[in-house]
Structure 1
């Protein structure tokens, strides 16, 4: 599918407008004409929301999934912008005019809009194969559901836009209760599961599959079971069943070596359920590659870490994530480093950085080939294990899948002898759940899951209070549950103050 990325980017660019939730009419108008006539036209339209995911995953989702958590920090530069530090440090006031929070909102709704364009236009197009038409609808609905899943976890109640709307309609829309947003997500994912293919030909690899829809749906059920909806046992059971469908699908398997999961030459592999696609080497000034090798490299390193392009020192691992790895766990060296040796000079520089997404940039711009692993089978194993424990059943099966993750790690290259033994049977569900939490943190480190796991399990207060005390003792934060959500952007509220109200605490 990477060969479609450049074309998709150009199409997405032609649909762009001023980034504002209420400023949607220009996009709608541009696409109300004569463009959508053929199957190929609709295929290009489907590529547009795929393409716009790149802007969200480049950095914005990292701010909310990792930097908000105890995994990573912005601490590499004193005096950094409050737009960054207030996301990281709960002692700083996170303001509603934070530009990162506004950009995330706007770009999320642009992606949703592009999905809605597909859904609004496709029935007027004649297809030789109705199955293909439904596949395109399913892709658009999956992408819409995925973005709404992010919005619901970040902001809570958000406007539900499930069709093209005019400027006038946008001004009348308020925030939709988060449970209704989750219901839309589930509906979209069920349709996607029913109408997506299990696999694609090589040229289309990277498009979402039936397994990808099932996997995200299992995860959505887990979040609905936890905070804030607290659906509990019924939705843990739904998550268990859907996760097991993925586990039993023979096309998905854990790779034998952890490092291979993130090898830039091994993308869309047998462990991958859905990846956001990037392709380096687009013609200037277009950049369709990913930035993380450069963004995560220590800011003042030379060519010791990344040989080409700038280094931003962004998303630096915390001391607590470094200490969380057990001795001899090869996942640490694959995922992060505690420092590097300067060249020239040969001095040890103790500056932590993420190294999970390594590639050499195509040019001086951050332009790498790494995809973003949104969902992989290891995540599903751990969710399945947790769903069983939370229902108080099948501890032996839950333990089996938890230990499969450790077994893969200890059999990976670089593991120390005797490292990562299997967990024995647990005497309490509390201890079992804490072990699963730990394995999720290590296995999925720097993949944007940690903060949301802490929120849904109601562990954010305990974990983040301790983290902030250790790392920001000079500016300690008094915990408030308001911190579990981000502020609604001020510009959004100002556009419709009668209908869009701020989250508590902001």
Structure 2
């Protein structure tokens, strides 16, 4: 069998798919897709699929950087106003700028379509050997299902961020002259749901690599619940999908035997415990090995940070702070203690301890990921840890919301799902969701618990959009904002794509 040198080309080639133009630049010295995949076996399939996670990550400032940046549009994190020309200000104003914010749109578009294009090749050309046993076919399809999962997940992010997007043909993209834009409904029904249904059918119940760096059946099921609840909200507003979301999430809660809620919230975010089973699917980072290092280093430290242990200034980049309102409204529970840094030694105060209110930027810091920073806080641009995309708490809150909205009532299992998270957070009994809670109060509680539980985990913007709560939660900037005047919540399709294809960009860009 030929050596798998083609994999490097598959995983590292330029993104032809996103431009949908016949560039005809396949190097003739490389073997073709057909030749490569005609010889594929279990081992080489696993190698090919594993490369997709690097596609999704997209270098140090790819997935977890770009998706976090757009969260500044929401109501939990903000930016440093004192930084000259800080382009995050456009997100804070709810008015993305196609020029100033172009790196976010270009990178996000590329990383998702890069993942889709390479997943398509694996899906289209891979098949279990004809002489494989039933068990071998199941194992082969279980790995192939990871490609389906990543394809469905990538389209899911794209359709929420950009609205009308192209569907890339599965059988190759080199001969495609122009890919038309497809409406969100078509993307969901043709690509996202079928991809995740295949993944849910074939993925194993426990992860292939023994940790959340590869998804399980339950990760796919939770993603499906997230997809369905989104289809029920803006822009499709197909309310019948609340029942499907509830059904999918309930299946996870009732039948999964691998994923268990971590006893202590803070332990989820410790480097030594990042392989805990509550995580369903994450990007795993390693700064030391330069493999998918995260952006949880200097970006999250204040600009005036002084490392008292080292007795050395470690001024952070202060890319993100917590919003003052988010901190003030956060309950005084165990999560708050872990998620926020409220005092630090400051270079602006002769290296003495200050409170966040007295810092130059006057904002509390996001400390959720500090344990990932290799023991010297603020030293590194990148760090270790995980970027969690789904964990068991997602399934609990998805079920709580979807089951209530599907029936316009609140059931016992939904209440218990929320209470289990409140128990872990250390709520007093009187502060937990009551058994006789009203429908409206329950939905309000669920939304708040999602905001508290997933603080700075890159989920909040998508929730506010599908529930059409941006105008409520960001009332300070809503009137006159781009989103308000244009009547949608989409970001611009990258300018280069518009120039290459002649597509019509989202309204207002």
Alignment TM-score > 0.5, same fold: yes
Q: Are positions 1:462 and 2:472 aligned together? A: yes
Q: Are positions 1:294 and 2:307 aligned together? A: no
1:388–1:165 CA distance, 2 compared to 1 (3 A): same
Counterparts of 1:177 and 1:110, CA distance in 2: 20
Structure 1, residues 431-482: CA drift from partner, whole Å, max 9, x if none?
221111111111111111111101111111221223668xxxxx97783353
Aligned to 1:4: none
Q: Are positions 1:59 and 2:74 aligned together? A: no
Q: SS at 1:484's partner residue?
A: coil
Q: Structure 2: which 5+ residue stretches go unaligned?
A: none
Contact persistence 1:156–1:178 (CA under 8 A) = yes
Choose which of 422, 435, 440 in structure 1 pairs with 2:450.
Answer: 440
Aligned to 1:400: 416
Q: SS at 2:273's partner residue?
A: coil
Contact persistence 1:97–1:489 (CA under 8 A) = no
Counterparts of 2:267 and 2:464, CA distance in 1: 28
Aligned to 1:3: none
Contact persistence 2:76–2:323 (CA under 8 A) = yes
Q: SS at 1:292's partner residue?
A: coil
Choose which of 96, 104, 108 in structure 2 pairs with 1:104.
Answer: 108
Aligned to 1:414: none
Listed as ranges, the matches of 1:35-50 within 5 Å are 35-36=36-37, 37-39=39-41, 40-50=43-53
1:74–1:12 CA distance, 2 compared to 1 (3 A): farther
Q: Are positions 1:353 and 2:365 aligned together? A: yes
The alignment covers a number of residue pairs equal to: 478
Counterparts of 1:250 and 1:92, CA distance in 2: 43
Structure 1, residues 276-310: CA drift from partner, whole Å, max 9, x if none?
1222212xxx5532121322111332325998977
Contact persistence 2:206–2:216 (CA under 8 A) = yes
1:12–1:428 CA distance, 2 compared to 1 (3 A): farther
Counterparts of 1:74 and 1:489, CA distance in 2: 23
Q: Are positions 1:177 and 2:183 aligned together? A: yes
Residue 403 of structure 1 deviates from its aligned partner by 1.8
Listed as ranges, the matches of 1:329-408 within 5 Å are 329-342=333-346, 345-348=351-354, 349=359, 350-358=362-370, 359-361=372-374, 365-390=380-405, 391-408=407-424
Counterparts of 1:409 and 1:325, CA distance in 2: 12
Listed as ranges, the matches of 1:74-473 within 5 Å are 74-82=79-87, 84-90=88-94, 93-95=97-99, 98-123=102-127, 128=132, 129-169=136-176, 171-183=177-189, 184-200=191-207, 206-232=213-239, 234-248=240-254, 249-282=256-289, 286=290, 288-303=292-307, 311-326=316-331, 328-342=332-346, 345-348=351-354, 349=359, 350-358=362-370, 359-361=372-374, 365-390=380-405, 391-410=407-426, 418=428, 421-425=431-435, 428-466=438-476
Contact persistence 2:296–2:373 (CA under 8 A) = no
After TM superposition, the structure 1 stretch with the greater mean CA deviation from structure 2, 118-127 or 384-393, is 118-127
Counterparts of 1:292 and 1:380, CA distance in 2: 25
1:466–1:310 CA distance, 2 compared to 1 (3 A): closer
Q: Structure 1: which 5+ residue stretches go unaligned?
A: 1-6, 412-417, 470-474
Residue 146 of structure 1 deviates from its aligned partner by 0.6
After TM superposition, the structure 1 stretch with the greater mean CA deviation from structure 2, 429-438 or 236-245, is 429-438
Aligned to 2:498: 493
1:26–1:117 CA distance, 2 compared to 1 (3 A): farther
Residue 258 of structure 1 deviates from its aligned partner by 0.6
Counterparts of 2:283 and 2:333, CA distance in 1: 27
Structure 1, residues 16-50: CA drift from partner, whole Å, max 9, x if none?
32687216755797562554433222221101111
Q: TM-score, normalised on structure 2? A: 0.85
After TM superposition, the structure 1 stretch with the greater mean CA deviation from structure 2, 303-312 or 248-257, is 303-312
Q: TM-score, normalised on structure 1? A: 0.85
Counterparts of 1:27 and 1:277, CA distance in 2: 31
